[in-house]
């Protein structure tokens, strides 16, 4: 409050304090870009900071000024307060927005900034201290009569201690870094062995990610839902809640899909949670944007989990249902302004759904993928017919997903009057989201949009594990989607055939035709059809029955041309976007979570294709392959050693995550092909079994 009082005495109570002229964003990637956008809208100049790895990054390009702050590793650049403060001084930035992660929840950061006369665009250090630390926040929450989960609030000495506590609480338990967030430094244990292992891993990840290795243990609630309340406070004692977000769709405790509002909550529960969140915030003098996270049972019981004293990754869904620009409000309250609205002004309108687009391979258990974005074509943003598409990103085509930072590529958000419409809009936007060069989870989130359980809203944080126990496989092409894909494939093939007949040097006097009747193979499905029409369309695709009689005719329009990554067009008037990746004699089509090799044959070609032998992929089960590009941290076995299923074989580090590779079955190690320190490509052989 000191700062606000000072501002008030300088400018008088009734006048708004002056807005900042220039702010610095102590972050990178999409969130830095996001903050720059709001600042620009408010007429505030922006300063970006960047490491060696981000020299050409989008946030550097977007900001008015940029300051280099060190080498690629975050602990030598983005985590260094001195460098940030020096950058502020060099550029004359009056305030710092920390984004999320990095320094955003370090109590010492606002303290240091204040010492140097720089405003922190975030909560006061006291609130961070009270709420930022997971253990302290539990105590504060309990004091504010917020319902909490049983757990051990003290500091844990070692793995043995962790196991003792876990035994007392009862399994399953969650081991979590005190300074953590975003799933890093977090482990769930179902028995004592896992508790010991989990503690060690959580601690080492906490140390490398946050520079703070303290961890705590608490009861893990089964079948839970993750619901959080967005709060916003100012320096004048006002706090409001901006409704909730549900973020139950997670993998390895990392959020994948988020939405606002939650399909679980009723008005009564929403109000109860909101009011508890506000009470807690007021108790600690919270004066910025923050999030109170709850774990909720399917019966709408809820327990306080933790408070994030920063802007959340998934804040856009709240912005779209409330119409509040959270970043703008954070900047305004940091400058000392009062909140321009009261609780009664906050109305939730429509539904917003967000997909986090990650550089990770959904077909390989979501392992991270790094490298060059050879192609990056996000869907068009904007509002039309009550549907809004927004894409928050920090990358561009030709940019790099680096191994040093979070593997998030973008956050795709859609908003519409109802949940179903928002989900459909998300599905359509994902169809057009084309990324190549790295593996990414667009096929997965696309498939999710069609998943009946997700669409029904009956979800929990175990959703992905429960629905995809054997790992993710694309949706099978069937029903209406199969017909749409076949029609698009038929049209693409027809376009190719038509223009190849325009080649020069043809024999004269004899026009060459081609069969209009085609058989489309999409994965293991087959559709027979006939395509008519000339470039540039419209084209007419008839689906044929077994006797070659048309059963349905569709009108297709499209200006697509070979070489373009996404086929945009209409099928019987409905907008369709299908991703097209050429393969030998065919194409891989991606649409609505379906991703299938597609071939369009003449009848004769199809007959002869049926004679072709089915070839089995080489048996690689005797090898332990590196599942992602990464650094070998340890090889736990030696040549000739017998191993049991579940034994740890090796540890590969990628994206700051240590991945333990376990034996899938009993066996004997024949050869060790990699050693600690090796930098391996995906599918490189680590071990060979006898």
Q: Which is nearer to another protein, 364 or 581 (CB)?
A: 581
Q: Which is nearer to another protein, 178 or 598 (CB)?
A: 598
The SS3 call for residue 587 is strand
Q: Which is nearer to another protein, 139 or 501 (CB)?
A: 501
- Please tell me the distance from the alpha carbon of residue 122 to that of residue 105, in angstroms, as a whole number: 9
Backbone angles phi, psi at 142, to 5 degrees: -60, -40
- Please tell me the distance from the alpha carbon of residue 638 to that of residue 627, in angstroms, as a whole number: 20
Q: Is 306 a catalytic residue?
A: yes
Q: Which is nearer to another protein, 173 or 589 (CB)?
A: 589
Other CB atoms within 10 A of residue 420 CB: 12
Among 86, 151, 77, residue whose Cα is nearest residue 113: 86
Quote the distance between the C-alpha of residue 220 and its chain's center: 23
Closest CB 441 distance from another protein, rounded Å: 21
Closest CB 522 distance from another protein, rounded Å: 17
Question: Which residues in this chain contact another protein in the complex, by CB under 8 A?
Answer: 55-56, 372-375, 396-400, 499-507, 510-512, 514-515, 561-563, 582, 584-585, 602, 604-605, 608-609, 611-613, 615
Quote the distance between the C-alpha of residue 227 and its chain's center: 17
Closest CB 582 distance from another protein, rounded Å: 7
Closest CB 118 distance from another protein, rounded Å: 31
Report long-range pairs for 571-579 (Cβ below 8 Å, ≥24 apart).
571/484, 571/487, 571/488, 575/428, 576/431, 576/484, 576/488, 577/379, 577/428, 577/431, 577/432, 578/431, 578/484, 578/485, 578/488, 579/431, 579/432, 579/434
Q: Which is nearer to another protein, 218 or 528 (CB)?
A: 528
Q: Which of 194, 306, 354, 528 is catalytic?
A: 306
Instruction: Compute the chain's Rg from CA coordinates.
Output: 28
Other CB atoms within 10 A of residue 613 CB: 5
Backbone angles phi, psi at 667, to 5 degrees: 180, -175
Quote the distance between the C-alpha of residue 626 and its chain's center: 23
Closest CB 21 distance from another protein, rounded Å: 32
Other CB atoms within 10 A of residue 208 CB: 18
Torsion over CA of 216, 219, 222 and 228, rounded to 10 degrees? -60
Q: Which is nearer to another protein, 398 or 417 (CB)?
A: 398
Residues 498-512: b if buried by 16+ CB within 10 A, e if exposed: eeeeeeeeeeeeeee
Backbone angles phi, psi at 189, to 5 degrees: -125, 135
Closest CB 538 distance from another protein, rounded Å: 17
Q: Which is nearer to another protein, 383 or 585 (CB)?
A: 585
Say if CB 27 and CB 97 are below 8 A apart.
yes
Among 453, 412, 411, residue whose Cα is nearest residue 429: 412
Q: Which is nearer to another protein, 29 or 122 (CB)?
A: 29
- Please tell me the distance from the alpha carbon of residue 591 to that of residue 593, in angstroms, as a whole number: 5
Say if CB 311 and CB 27 are below 8 A apart.
no
Closest CB 495 distance from another protein, rounded Å: 10
Closest CB 293 distance from another protein, rounded Å: 38
CA atoms within 13 A on the CB side of 266: 5
DSSP H or E stretch at residue 126: helix 125-127
Torsion over CA of 306, 467, 449 and 423, rounded to 10 degrees? -50
Residues 237-271: b if buried by 16+ CB within 10 A, e if exposed: ebbbbbbbbbbbbbbebbbbbbbbbbbbbeeebbe
Closest CB 175 distance from another protein, rounded Å: 39
Closest CB 238 distance from another protein, rounded Å: 46
Closest CB 109 distance from another protein, rounded Å: 30
Q: Which is nearer to another protein, 336 or 399 (CB)?
A: 399
Q: What is the residue whose two structure tokens read 């909140």?
A: 339
Q: Which is nearer to another protein, 37 or 375 (CB)?
A: 375
Termini Cα distance of the chain: 69
Q: Which is nearer to another protein, 365 or 602 (CB)?
A: 602
Check residue 301 and report its DSSP letter. Answer: -
- Catalytically active residues are 306
């Amino acid at each position: 409050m000191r700062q606000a009082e000072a501002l008030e005495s300088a400018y008088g109570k009734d006048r708004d304090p002056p807005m900042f002229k220039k702010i610095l964003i102590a972050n990178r990637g999409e969130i830095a870009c996001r903050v720059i956008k709001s600042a620009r809208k408010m007429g505030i100049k922006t300063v970006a900071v960047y490491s060696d790895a981000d020299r050409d990054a989008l946030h550097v390009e977007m900001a008015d000024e940029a300051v280099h702050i060190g080498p690629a590793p975050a602990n030598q650049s983005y985590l260094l307060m001195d460098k940030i403060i020096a950058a502020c001084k060099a550029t004359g930035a009056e305030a710092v927005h920390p984004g999320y992660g990095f320094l955003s929840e370090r109590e010492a950061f606002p303290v240091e900034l204040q010492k140097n006369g720089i405003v922190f665009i975030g909560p006061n250090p006291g609130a961070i201290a009270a709420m930022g630390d997971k253990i302290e926040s539990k105590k504060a929450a309990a004091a504010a009569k917020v319902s909490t989960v049983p757990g051990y609030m003290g500091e844990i000495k070692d793995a043995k201690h962790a196991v003792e506590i876990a035994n007392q609480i009862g399994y399953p338990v969650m081991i979590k870094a005190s300074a953590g967030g975003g799933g890093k430094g977090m482990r769930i244990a179902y028995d004592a062995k896992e508790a010991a292992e989990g503690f060690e891993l959580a601690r080492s990840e906490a140390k490398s990610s946050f520079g703070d290795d303290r961890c705590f243990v608490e009861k893990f609630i089964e079948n839970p839902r993750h619901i959080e309340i967005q709060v916003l406070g100012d320096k004048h004692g006002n706090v409001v809640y901006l409704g909730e977000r549900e973020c139950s769709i997670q993998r390895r405790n990392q959020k994948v899909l988020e939405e606002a509002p939650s399909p679980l909550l009723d008005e009564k529960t929403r109000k109860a949670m909101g009011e508890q969140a506000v009470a807690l915030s007021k108790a600690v003098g919270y004066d910025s944007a923050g999030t109170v996270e709850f774990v909720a049972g399917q019966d709408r019981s809820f327990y306080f989990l933790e408070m994030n004293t920063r802007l959340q990754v998934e804040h856009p869904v709240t912005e779209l249902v409330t119409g509040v620009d959270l970043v703008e409000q954070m900047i305004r309250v940091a400058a000392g302004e009062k909140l321009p609205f009261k609780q009664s002004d906050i109305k939730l309108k429509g539904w917003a759904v967000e997909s986090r687009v990650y550089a990770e391979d959904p077909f390989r258990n979501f392992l991270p993928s790094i490298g060059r974005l050879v192609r990056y074509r996000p869907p068009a943003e904007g509002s039309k017919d009550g549907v809004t598409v927004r894409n928050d990103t920090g990358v561009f085509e030709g940019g790099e997903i680096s191994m040093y930072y979070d593997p998030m590529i973008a956050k795709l958000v859609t908003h519409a009057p109802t949940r179903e419409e928002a989900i459909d809009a998300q599905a359509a936007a994902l169809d057009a989201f084309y990324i190549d060069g790295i593996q990414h989870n667009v096929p997965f989130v696309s498939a999710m949009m069609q998943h009946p359980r997700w669409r029904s809203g009956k979800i929990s944080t175990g959703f992905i594990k429960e629905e995809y126990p054997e790992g993710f496989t694309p949706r099978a092409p069937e029903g209406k989607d199969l017909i749409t894909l076949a029609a698009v494939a038929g049209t693409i093939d027809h376009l190719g055939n038509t223009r190849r007949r325009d080649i020069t040097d043809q024999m004269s006097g004899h026009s060459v035709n081609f069969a209009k009747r085609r058989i489309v193979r999409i994965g293991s499905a087959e559709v027979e059809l006939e395509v008519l029409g000339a470039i540039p369309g419209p084209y007419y695709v008839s689906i044929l029955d077994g006797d070659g009689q048309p059963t349905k005719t569709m009108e297709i329009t499209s200006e697509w041309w070979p070489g373009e990554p996404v086929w945009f067009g209409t099928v019987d008037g409905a907008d369709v976007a299908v991703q097209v990746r050429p393969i030998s004699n065919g194409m891989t089509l991606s649409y609505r979570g379906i991703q299938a090799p597609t071939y369009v044959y003449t009848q004769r070609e199809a007959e002869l294709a049926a004679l072709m032998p089915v070839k089995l992929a080489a048996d690689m089960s005797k090898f332990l392959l590196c599942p992602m590009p990464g650094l070998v941290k340890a090889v736990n076995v030696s040549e000739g050693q017998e191993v049991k299923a579940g034994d740890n074989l090796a540890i590969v580090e990628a994206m700051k995550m240590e991945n333990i590779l376990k034996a899938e079955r009993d066996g004997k190690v024949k050869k060790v092909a990699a050693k600690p320190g090796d930098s391996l490509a995906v599918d490189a052989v680590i071990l060979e079994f006898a």
